[in-house]
Amino acid sequence: MTASHVSPNAVNHNSLRGQFTAVIFALAFLPNLSLTLIVGGGAWNLNLTLWTVGVGVISALIGYVLASAMLEPLTRLRGEVESDDVAERSPPGDPSEVQALRAAFTGLLHRLSTEQARRGAFMATLVHDLKTPLIAVGHLVRLMMDNALSGAERLEVGEQMLSENARLLALVQQMADAHRFEREEVQLHRQPSELRPLLETLAARLTARAAERGVQLQVSGEATADVDAAVLERAVGNLADNALRYAESQVCLSVRQLGGGAELSIIDDGPGLSEDLDTLAQPFNAQPTTIAGEQYTAGTAGLGLFIAKRIAQAHGGELRYERRPSPTTGAPRASSQGLTVLTLLLPEVL
């Protein structure tokens, strides 16, 4: 059984138009009916009856016209919503309630549009960024199946497969973290922690990659803070990974004490961010970005920044970005482009 279509102009007792019409009709007709009965003395009179019927009809028509005029802004807004073309500003003269409703619809449609764009970006990341290492692993598997390879060559191919697998797992973990951190709070288990060993452990893990790129990796400073070391290492690791990707020659992982808090800085001599931090630090950005002449697909450039930002906020701190024209103590030497500095500020926990 299908539902019948009701015209927006039809009078229905369940609609606001029908209810407004009934109220206006009653306010206009009932006083006239009472007056007619009083004047007639209770006796039936054809002229009075015709007058009463005429007043009732006119009252109903007036009620319908007034109700239509009152509901015209809502009817117009309904049409805009159905056509998916809601104007952000109400026409002059719309009641404040309709203006508030329009603003609510506009906000809802904007959020839906953002979610749709992020879903598309998420799929673009899956299709493009996951496909690349999978294709590489497929080629390496074919090489492994080639009996012409020597033992040393098989070992080299195996190491390349492990490298591609690690890259694939890292990307999947980033996507999972970004999806989770976007929808729920970061869970922390704080305890007083030395931050220098955290940076040294991370640097040791990145040494081989830094050597492949010809980038010198340094660690400097000392500090203690009340943090979740495992979660914080994930944030610093994402920032260091980005720094190694873009650095020309050097990356410095620096930490210093700020009262009861700490400041962790990742400094590199690369070209810097292509846009402001808030624009790039999005979990799944629908627009690709170009950094150092290389285009990164939707989601890839912002995943690490978003995760680091959310972890900093969970600790009560923030993530900051700046370009320095000259080096500070313990930082890499300045390049022709200056220095890129991403800083995790960890406030004192009272």
Q: Model confidence over 6-34: pLDDT tens digits? A: 444 444 456 666 777 777 777 777 777 77
Which pLDDT belongs to residue 302? Answer: 66
262-to-154, 312, 343 alpha-carbon distances in Å: 47, 12, 10
d(CA 28, CA 50): 16
How many percent of the chain have pLDDT more than 70?
71
* Closest by Cα among 282, 267, 288 to 340: 267
Model confidence at 319, pLDDT cuts 50, 70, 90, reads: very high
d(CA 236, CA 176): 17
d(CA 31, CA 37): 10
Which pLDDT belongs to residue 25? Answer: 75
What are the structural domain ranges in the chain?
A: 16-85, 108-183, 192-326+337-346
Q: Is there a shared CATH topology between the 108-183 domain and the 192-326+337-346 domain?
A: no
238-to-64, 216, 223 alpha-carbon distances in Å: 64, 18, 20
Which pLDDT belongs to residue 82? Answer: 77
Q: What is the tens place of the pLDDT at every residue in 134-183?
A: 777 777 777 777 667 777 777 877 777 777 777 677 667 766 666 666 66
Phi then psi for residue 253, to 5 deg, are -100, 110
CB 283 within 8 A of CB 302: yes
* Strands of 339-346's sheet in order across: 216-220, 250-258, 261-268, 339-346, 318-324
Q: Which CATH class is domain 192-326+337-346?
A: alpha beta
- Strand partners of residue 296: 289
Does 3 have pLDDT greater than 50? Answer: no
Which pLDDT belongs to residue 334? Answer: 46
Q: What is the tens place of the pLDDT at every residue in 28-65?
A: 777 777 776 776 666 666 776 777 778 778 878 887 78
d(CA 198, CA 234): 10
Lowest mean pLDDT across 4-13, 104-113, 118-127: 4-13
Which pLDDT belongs to residue 68? Answer: 77
Model confidence at 198, pLDDT cuts 50, 70, 90, reads: very high
Which pLDDT belongs to residue 181? Answer: 65
Residue type, 314: A
Q: Which CATH class is domain 108-183?
A: mainly alpha
d(CA 269, CA 257): 24
Model confidence at 98, pLDDT cuts 50, 70, 90, reads: confident
Which residue stretches of the chain are H helix?
16-40, 46-82, 96-129, 131-144, 151-183, 195-213, 229-246, 277-280, 300-314
The top-scoring range by mean pLDDT among 147-151, 215-219, 312-316 is: 215-219
Which pLDDT belongs to residue 179? Answer: 63
How many percent of the chain have pLDDT more than 90?
13
The top-scoring range by mean pLDDT among 120-124, 129-133, 255-259 is: 255-259
Model confidence at 196, pLDDT cuts 50, 70, 90, reads: very high
Query: Under the phi-then-psi rule, with left for phi > 0, alpha for psi from -120 to 50, and beta for the rest, what region is 92?
Result: beta
For residues 67 and 15, the model is more confident at: 67
User: What is this structure's pTM?
Assistant: 0.55
Which pLDDT belongs to residue 11? Answer: 46
d(CA 239, CA 312): 12
Q: What is the tens place of the pLDDT at every residue in 247-305?
A: 888 999 999 998 778 999 999 988 888 777 777 776 655 445 444 444 444 445 567 78
The mean pLDDT of the chain is: 75
